Amino acid sequence: MTSVQYYDSPLGRIRMAADEIGLTVICFEGAKYDADHLPAECLKQETEILSAGKRWLDLYFSGKNPDFLPPLHPNGSAFQMTVWDMLLEIPYGETVSYGEIARKIAEKRGISRMSAQAVGGAVGRNPIAIIIPCHRVVGADGSLTGYAGGIDKKIKLLDLERGDFPLNLHFPHAKPTAIGGMSREELDLELKKGLDSLQSFARLEASRKASAEVIDYDAEREEAMNEKYGVVD
């Protein structure tokens, strides 16, 4: 029988579940796939395994790297289990890309390549968040891609582990959207118009300066002639 408890973390309420073998679920309440990981019938009670999970979370959210791993019993396909085992190997405070995990799995299986997208699907289905650190997986370019608990929580978990937000990480490029009531195409057109105006102004300013130089030259020439020959009214 699966037992369920809740843990109030600094980032929000966390749902925890465990069976007789180990933790089966740790996820932020309301996270994507939250309900998918729980059986229809659960008992709301404390167990030794759940208590061990709470001790681990207490240490983690105090800014420490827990020196023990509570019993884990995630439920998934053979491929998902392989990916989740790889996640457990990511050191505290570090990140790896989906592609790196895919390459390691390919090497272990003796195959030429493994789909990073398939790895991403397994990472997204991780039922034991934080302890199985799926938040430490980022895009190939360092972008902060999807996290079932929300990108804001992924940022804060990385921030907690590294002390500050890693400078080599950034948000994924957003898809073109309407800005200020304009479509991306309209915005690009307005930007082009602005650039054209700046270029026209630059040309006009260059022409004005050139004309001013000619005028200054003529004035100096006239002044020199006046000094030499005198002013004639």
Map residue 12 onto helix, strand or coil: strand
DSSP string, 74-112: ----HHHHHHHHHHTTSPTT--EEHHHHHHHHHHHHT-S
Contact 116, 139 (CB under 8 A): no
Q: What CA–CA distance (Å, rounded) separates 20 from 227?
A: 109
**Token pair listed for 72:** 């884990």
Residues with Cβ within 8 Å of 6's Cβ and at least 6 positions away in sequence, in order, are 13, 14, 15, 16, 29
Q: What CA–CA distance (Å, rounded) separates 14 from 23?
A: 13
From the candidates 23, 86, 122, 134, which is the catalytic residue? 134
**For this structure, is 27 an active site residue?**
no
Map residue 72 onto helix, strand or coil: strand
Which residue numbers are catalytic? 134
